[in-house]
């Protein structure tokens, strides 16, 4: 990005924070894509909460870290949607649970793993096919921000994902999210809302999504337009209580010796309060700040025995274009 453009963006951002657009003209908010374009973002996250284990013990949890997020436009469809290749080439995450601490870092294909300050050999695993880290995730984004057609590089992982999210990567789930922007121009001060039910786990277990966004301000400097958008979204998932043998909600089977373990999430609520700055000239996100609150119940089935757990946490996430 040229220095002049950086200066223009800085001025436009400053104006956008302090002054609403003087013009009454509506603004078209839309993502734009060009084949071969590369968009790089720095992401930082911090948060804290608590976790109640199936045994009834409660522990404080914390998360801090940063990562680099890279999107490459493979192609542009006739409707202006971009077929994106998404990767995380670098990550450094630190997790605390009670008095225990762990750190995971990944860069240039190398993994480092620390437990309570001591470095250990990382898990013996082939990272070349791990989604986002070793292998890209492919997804389609429409100009209005709707995501669809999620595809993993490893056919085995894609097959496992289809078992948990039937129809993903096919026409049934061609649209796995809701649009971020209206398809029409928006006036400063205008609010647009959306409510929908998604069924990634089947029609009997709907996910309710509610969003609200407001165009707070719009400024132009040196031919660069910057829109400041505030938002609030809520995701709710509630599954009917089922016997262990029939429990299907967002399940994840794992193994503990010779005993089958199934972890399910029968209830989840997530809210996100956001402030975003969007470059309308280039059709891309410049900077964003997200406050996320999460509460969830989990069901852990060990053989025929089922126990409940719960978690609550708040996270602060910032995204900055590079």
What are the Cα distances from residue 45, in Å, to 50, 266, 312?
Answer: 17, 26, 16
Contacts of 211 (CB under 8 A, 6+ apart): 178, 193, 194, 195, 231, 232, 233, 234
Sequence-separated contacts (24+) of 160-167 with Cβ below 8 Å: 164/201, 164/250, 164/251, 164/252, 165/200, 165/201, 166/202
Q: What is the pLDDT of residue 303?
A: 61
Which residue range(s) make up the domain with 239? 3-321
Task: Judge contact between 261 and 299, C-beta under 8 A.
Answer: no
Nearest Cα neighbor of 110 from 129, 91, 95 is 91
- Taking only the tens of pLDDT, the chain with its 322 residues reads 444 444 444 444 444 444 444 445 799 999 999 999 999 999 999 999 998 877 778 999 999 999 999 999 999 999 999 999 999 999 999 999 888 999 999 987 888 889 998 998 876 666 767 778 878 889 999 999 998 888 876 666 555 555 555 554 444 444 446 789 999 999 999 999 998 887 766 666 678 889 999 999 999 987 889 999 999 999 988 765 444 333 344 444 444 444 555 666 778 899 999 999 999 999 999 999 999 999 988 776 666 667 788 889 999 999 999 9
Number of domains in the chain: 1
Bridge-based pairing of strands 284-302 and 259-279 is antiparallel
Query: How many Å apart are CA 31 and CA 141, to the nearest integer?
Result: 8
Q: What is the pLDDT of residue 284?
A: 96
What are the Cα distances from residue 272, in Å, to 38, 110, 212, 317?
Answer: 27, 33, 10, 10
Q: What is the pLDDT of residue 141?
A: 94
Query: How many Å apart are CA 39 and CA 34, to the nearest integer?
Result: 11
Nearest Cα neighbor of 67 from 45, 46, 84, 48 is 45
Sign of torsion over alpha carbons 172, 178, 179, 180: negative
At residue 195, the 3 state secondary structure works out as strand
Nearest Cα neighbor of 34 from 87, 81, 83, 76 is 76
Please, what's the b/e burial string for 230-251 (b: 16 or more CB within 10 A of its CB; e: otherwise)?
Answer: bbebebebebeeeeeeebebbb
| CATH code at position 278 | 2.30.230
Q: What angle do CA 295, 299, 301 make, to 5 degrees?
A: 160
């Amino acid at each position: 990005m040229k220095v002049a453009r950086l200066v223009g963006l800085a001025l436009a951002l400053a104006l956008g924070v302090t002054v609403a657009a003087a013009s009454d003209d509506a603004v078209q908010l839309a993502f734009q894509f060009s084949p071969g374009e590369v968009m790089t973002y720095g992401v930082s996250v911090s948060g804290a909460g608590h976790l109640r284990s199936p045994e009834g013990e409660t522990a404080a949890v914390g998360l801090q870290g940063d990562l680099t997020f890279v999107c490459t436009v493979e192609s542009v469809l006739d409707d202006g949607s971009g077929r994106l290749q998404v990767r995380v080439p670098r990550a450094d995450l630190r997790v605390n649970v009670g008095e225990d601490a762990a750190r995971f870092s990944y860069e240039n294909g190398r993994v480092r793993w620390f437990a309570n300050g001591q470095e250990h050999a990382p898990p013996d695993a082939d990272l070349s096919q791990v989604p986002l880290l070793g292998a890209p995730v492919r997804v389609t984004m429409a100009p209005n921000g709707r995501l669809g057609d999620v595809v993993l590089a490893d056919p085995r992982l894609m097959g496992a994902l289809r078992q948990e999210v039937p129809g993903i990567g096919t026409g049934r789930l061609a649209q796995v999210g809701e649009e971020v922007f209206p398809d029409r121009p928006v006036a400063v001060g205008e609010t647009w809302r959306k409510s929908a039910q998604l069924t990634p786990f089947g029609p009997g277990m709907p996910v309710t999504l509610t969003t609200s966004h407001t165009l707070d301000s719009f400024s132009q400097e040196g031919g660069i337009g910057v829109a400041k958008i505030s938002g609030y979204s809520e995701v709710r998932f509630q599954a009917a209580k089922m016997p262990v043998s029939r429990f299907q909600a967002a399940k994840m089977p794992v193994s503990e010796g010779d005993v089958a373990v199934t972890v399910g999430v029968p209830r989840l609520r997530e809210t996100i309060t956001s402030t975003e700055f969007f470059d309308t000239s280039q059709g891309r996100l410049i900077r964003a700040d997200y406050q996320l609150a999460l509460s969830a119940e989990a069901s852990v089935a060990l053989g025929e025995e089922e126990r409940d757990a719960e978690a609550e946490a708040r996270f602060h996430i910032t995204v900055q274009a590079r």
